[in-house]
Amino acid sequence: MSRTVKLRRSVVKAITYRIIILCLDFLTIYLFTGEVRVALGFMIVSNIYTTIGYFLHERAWSRIHWGIEEDGQPSLNK
């Protein structure tokens, strides 16, 4: 039985992850600077490049079979 990670799953995971990181980015920068505009600006810019990076990372890992068990059988690539 083969296991395929669907593109849609990777997209949804990337979006939900980014929502969490957006909130953390905003909170951290706001706590350091006390400036809403600075925190929002950083949050927007960092969201663009880190979302792309996470998506590419997720897609690369979807092709690696190490650490995945299928039907109770360990993968061949240990």
Model confidence, pTM:
0.55
| Within a domain: 25 | yes
pLDDT per position as a tens digit, 49-76: 888 898 899 899 888 888 877 776 655 5
74 in a domain, yes or no? Answer: no
Segment 9-18, tens digit of pLDDT: 988 987 898 8
DSSP per residue, the chain? ------HHHHHHHHHHHHHHHHHHHHHHHHHHH--HHHHHHHHHHHHHHHHHHHHHHHHHHHT--TT-EETTEEPS--
Q: What's the number of domains the chain is made of?
A: 1
Domain that holds residue 27: 7-66
**78 part of a folded domain:** no
Q: Is residue 32 part of a domain?
A: yes
Structure tokens at 31: 């706590």
73 part of a folded domain: no
Higher pLDDT, residue 64 or 5: 64
Report yes or no on 57 lying in a domain: yes
Residue 26: the pLDDT is 94
